[in-house]
Structure 1
Amino acid sequence: MPATPTDASGRPRSVAIITDGNGRWAQRRGLSVAEGHRAGADVVRARLRDAAELGVEELTVFSFSTENWTRPVTEVSALMAMFGERIDRETPELVEEGARMRFIGRREGVDPALIEKMDWAEQQTAGGDAITLVVAFNYGGRAEILDAAARYEGGGEDAFRALLYGPDLRDPDLLIRTSGEQRISNYLLWQCAYSEIVFAPELWPDFDRGAFERCLDAYATRDRRFGGRVG
């Protein structure tokens, strides 16, 4: 679903976040990287609730990239274990809150037991209509485009879009990156072609509701023209 002009409230319907800074947050506190990732996962849940209250319909978070496999084996193993544990614990909560969960990314190379948990979470939350949480896991923007291109047989932009990982999902109105870094890191390259971008200085575990609202307020001041001209 392509991006749409800002609604009357000035709030974005779809927000994507590059949740950057867990490791640095932990390092500054003398904690393990795994503890930083756990703190970051807590913030995802908190901001999902905020997003639903603030009128956001889809929230996409960058959980694990295709490039993250190059990190130390101990860190990757801890991330995979935490990911499975979070799915088990939080899926019932999402059902209670009316949130739907979706996963986008490559399934190749992922532990089949974890894929089974992901499929289970999608099935359990399929009826949620309060907000959709999209988790980009084993995801890379170039990989997504390459995977679609390998199956593309012509037919134009709509036909190509139908081959992406989540063709029914909205293009993000707003892309937020935390930690002060100013790059998009191979994230939603097709979908963010016309997204507004806000770079937030907070490390992800420090990204509280106030920081989130400041990003939404910044979005509300933007003039989205989608290549056209106003006046």
Structure 2
Amino acid sequence: MPADPQNEPHCGPRHVAIIMDGNGRWAQARGRPRLYGHHAGARRVREVVEACPGLGIKYLTIFAFSTENWKRTQVEVAGLMSLFKRYIIKETRTLAQNGIRVRFIGDRVRLDAKLIELMDTLERETAENDLVHLTVALNYGGRDEVARATKRLARDVAAGNLRPEDVDEETLPRYLDTRVLPDPDLVIRTSGEARISNFLLWQSAYSEYEFIDTLWPDFTAAELERLCKSFGSRERRFGAVPA
């Protein structure tokens, strides 16, 4: 389980989660198709991941594709799935050599077999790394995650492995996709939208939020550093009052 956040020092965020929004608008502003923006956004991920160790970020979680994104056009969805495959193939060796551990969260049922195979390979190839833990939310939705976790919990109760009276707010996190991760300290959403879009609903109960106007393909390591410094100046009381 994560350490008690009230006992942690006031410093930069250890776990940053990012809703990478604005790829399509970035491309359209340049007269290009939306997929052009998604490719630019994928390249931006590398810069952000590489910046994490110098900023003290141990965990980085990025929202790549939501359970609602299937509503987009077939062309865009197919292009995104192809992009995910290409990105994994291209980056696996670099991620493994640079000490990055990669995990995927979300429901894999709707993903095709080749993509799942590549995801499994990347997780396996980076399993021993510990410099930065990169979590990619793919076909992920916060409500869907909680529903799937509740089903697993209910099965344990039905099997007699867990008593109903023992279920509390410390129990459910053990069934979530993120069960091995600490809760995010800072959640960033790019592109000027001020909503959380079903991302890490349980985990971000006490996260700090930053909604910024920058479109994701324009987001830089320098801006991430600025947001981390801003986080360090905040007083996080977790429902308590100042001493």
What range describes the TM-score normalised by the shorter chain of this pair? over 0.9
Equivalent residue for 1:20?
21
The reply on whether 1:54 has 2:55 as its aligned counterpart is yes
Secondary structure in 2 aligned to 1:64?
Answer: strand
Root-mean-square deviation (CA, aligned residues, Å) is 1.3
The reply on whether 1:110 has 2:120 as its aligned counterpart is no
The answer as to whether partners of 2:101 and 2:132 remain within 8 angstroms in 1 is: yes
Counterpart of 1:169, as a letter, is L
Secondary structure in 1 aligned to 2:225?
Answer: helix
TM-score (ref. length: structure 2)? 0.92
Equivalent residue for 1:121?
122
Counterpart of 1:188, as a letter, is L
Higher Cα Rg: structure 1 or 2?
2
Q: CA deviation at 1:5?
A: 4.6
The answer as to whether partners of 1:13 and 1:56 remain within 8 angstroms in 2 is: yes
Equivalent residue for 1:223?
235
Q: CA deviation at 1:15?
A: 0.3
Q: Percent identity?
A: 49
Equivalent residue for 2:186?
174
Deviation string, structure 1 residues 120-176 (Cα, Å, up to 9, x no partner): 000000011110110000000000011111222342222211110120111000000
Secondary structure in 1 aligned to 2:61?
Answer: strand
Tell me the distance in 2 between the aligned counterparts of 1:162 and 1:220.
29
1:35-114 matches, cutoff 5 A? 35-114=36-115
Counterpart of 2:173, as a letter, is R
Tell me the distance in 2 between the aligned counterparts of 1:179 and 1:34.
16
8-17 or 54-63: bigger deviation? 8-17
The answer as to whether partners of 1:12 and 1:56 remain within 8 angstroms in 2 is: yes
Secondary structure in 1 aligned to 2:50?
Answer: helix
The reply on whether 1:146 has 2:158 as its aligned counterpart is no
Tell me the distance in 2 between the aligned counterparts of 1:211 and 1:9.
20
Deviation string, structure 1 residues 65-88 (Cα, Å, up to 9, x no partner): 000001000000000001001101
Tell me the distance in 1 between the aligned counterparts of 2:56 and 2:208.
17
Tell me the distance in 2 between the aligned counterparts of 1:121 and 1:107.
15
Tell me the distance in 1 between the aligned counterparts of 2:2 and 2:204.
10
1:149-164 matches, cutoff 5 A? 149-152=150-153, 153=157, 154=164, 155-164=167-176
Equivalent residue for 2:223?
211
Equivalent residue for 1:202?
214
Secondary structure in 1 aligned to 2:171?
Answer: helix
Runs of at least 5 residues in structure 1 that lack an aligned partner in the other structure: none
The answer as to whether partners of 2:10 and 2:235 remain within 8 angstroms in 1 is: no
TM-score (ref. length: structure 1)? 0.96
The answer as to whether partners of 2:96 and 2:125 remain within 8 angstroms in 1 is: yes
Change in CA separation of 1:6 and 1:111 when aligned onto 2, cut-off 3 Å: farther
Counterpart of 1:202, as a letter, is T
Counterpart of 1:149, as a letter, is T
Secondary structure in 1 aligned to 2:134?
Answer: strand
The answer as to whether partners of 1:6 and 1:12 remain within 8 angstroms in 2 is: no
Runs of 4+, deviation exceeding 3 Å: 5-9
Q: CA deviation at 1:9?
A: 6.9
Counterpart of 2:30, as a letter, is R
Secondary structure in 1 aligned to 2:206?
Answer: coil
Secondary structure in 2 aligned to 1:162?
Answer: helix
Equivalent residue for 2:205?
193
